[in-house]
Amino acid sequence: MILTRTAATFAPPVMEARRWLEGVAFPADRPLINVSQAAPVDPPPDALRQVMAEVALARDDAHLYGPVLGLPELRAALAQETGRIYGGAVSTDQIAITSGCNQAFAAAIATLCAEGDEVILPTPWYFNHKMWLDMSGVRTVPLKTDAALLPDPEMAEALITSRTRAMALVSPNNPSGVEYPAELLRAFYDLAQRRGIALILDETYRDFHAQSGAPHGLFEDPEWPDTLIHLYSFSKAYRLTGHRVGAMATGQTRLAEVEKFLDTVAICPGQIGQHAALWGMQNLGQWLAGERAEILARRAAISDGFPVLAEQGWALLGLGAYFAYLRHPFTMQSDDLARHLVRDQSILCLPGTMFYPQDDPDGARQLRIAFANLDQDGIGVLFQRLAGMDKSL
């Protein structure tokens, strides 16, 4: 039997989890708490939706093919914003706009890897990165993280072979929420530069980082385009998940290769979403600051309220951006536990087994909670349900 590219990987975890809801009736006094997906459920703010409507009605060119690498105005604005946040020099011709950040990762891998090449991913990993590597014929090399869920550059270097093409980091991390310190990111950058491989850094959740100021100084190195492939998403910042607007910053030579990939896969990113992202960057700075403040308040509520779970044997392994990453106290494996939570507690979350290799036992004790759509009262209800679970599970 021929193993196809898609058959080489697993089913999409979020879609698999949603199927657990089929046929389940949730009582009125215990409605479903859905903490399975890291995406805002609210639409964009009204002012942005109005701009999008005006673009759709008044700009004929918004309904046509656009530039493969994205609207020049948006590329220029993101280059300027990236330079402002991180320091260093970033130019328009070092920016590509993509149909979501996942496509940016896929494009990066397409420019880096051939059949049988290798990419190092820390565990727990972002499952869509692993899925794309599987479907690209690229071997994923797992990098174990420490008790704080931080990867070790020395351990990473020991995994580098002649087939290694990149290391891929996500910070703030999906699934753990952990924010990688600037000095750790610099150590990985220096390692990649020294060994002649790429560092892919996905900062989809940058706008919700707890630290004020630049998360790192990698763009300050004039040679950053030779090593760094930086990924970003407008989806979380401006609630544009359905419009698929992501971005990549890298060298011009690589972008010429990226253009081949994007032209073949989607021809161009959606125009209305790009205009929305541009207007958001120009006008929604204060609104976005409020969104960040709310996420940080929910993060604090999780930290402050967690002792009620700690008393029951739970552990908070990681916390940040949209995520709380937990170790549960039960003998039941997390994939079975997650299904049990749907029926017994009306909670939909993802098990740690979705973020690890099948032979790694760590995932069996872990759960990911995506709390961005749960207010502080909802967090309290979630903790009450988890704390009240049968200890014999």
Global pTM value: 0.95
Say what percent of the chain tops pLDDT 90.
Answer: 94
What pLDDT sits at residue 212? 86
pLDDT of residue 3: 79
Which of the four pLDDT bands, split at 50, 70 and 90, describes residue 38?
Answer: confident
Binned at pLDDT 50, 70 and 90, residue 40 comes out as confident
Q: Is 70 exceeded by the pLDDT of residue 48? A: yes
CATH 3.40.640.10 region(s) of the chain? 46-284
Indicate if the pLDDT at residue 185 is higher than 90.
yes
Indicate the average pLDDT of the chain. 95
Q: Are strands 366-370 and 350-351 parallel, antiparallel or unpaired?
A: antiparallel
The pLDDT tens digits of the residues spanning 311-334 come to 999 999 999 999 999 999 999 999
> For the CA atoms of the chain, what is the radius of gyration?
21
Distances (CA, A) of 96 to 108, 167, 184, 284, 315: 11, 20, 26, 22, 40
pLDDT above 90: residue 114: yes
- Given pLDDT bands bounded at 50, 70 and 90, which one contains residue 80? very high
Please determine, for residue 90, whether its predicted confidence score (pLDDT) is greater than 70: yes
> Region 385-392: what's the mean pLDDT?
84
Res 297: pLDDT:
95
Confidence of residue 120 (pLDDT cuts 50, 70, 90): very high
According to the model, what pLDDT value does residue 391 have? Answer: 74
The answer to whether residue 376 scores a pLDDT higher than 80 is yes
Q: Are strands 228-233 and 198-202 parallel, antiparallel or unpaired?
A: parallel
Determine the pLDDT at residue 390. 78
Fold of 46-284: Aspartate Aminotransferase; domain 2 (3.40.640)
| pLDDT grade for 116, boundaries at 50, 70 and 90 | very high
The phi, psi pair for 233, rounded to 5°, reads -135, 135
Task: Pull the structure tokens for residue 45.
Answer: 């703010």
Residues making up the chain, counted from first to last: 393
Task: Domain 6-43+287-387: give its CATH superfamily.
Answer: Aspartate Aminotransferase, domain 1 (3.90.1150.10)
| 268 has a pLDDT exceeding 90 | yes
- Per-residue exposure over 3-13, b if at least 16 CB sit within 10 Å of its own CB, e if not: eeeeeebeeeb
CA distances 216 to 196, 205, 382, Å, are 21, 14, 34
User: Could you tell me the two tokens for 133?
Assistant: 């590597």
- Residue ranges, comma separated, of all CATH 3.90.1150.10 domains in the chain are 6-43+287-387
In three state form, how does the secondary structure of 109-150 look?
HHHHCCCCCEEEEEECCCHHHHHHHHHCCCEEEEEEECCCCC
In percent, the amount of the chain with pLDDT more than 70 equals 99
In this predicted structure, the answer to whether residue 359 has a pLDDT above a threshold of 70 is yes
Selection from 126, 74, 57 nearest residue 245 by Cα: 74
pLDDT of 30 strictly over 80? yes
pLDDT recorded at residue 392: 62
Q: Which residue is it, tokens 């990688």? A: 180
Query: Which residue would you say has higher pLDDT here, 3 or 122?
Result: 122
What is residue 2's predicted lDDT score, i.e. its pLDDT?
67
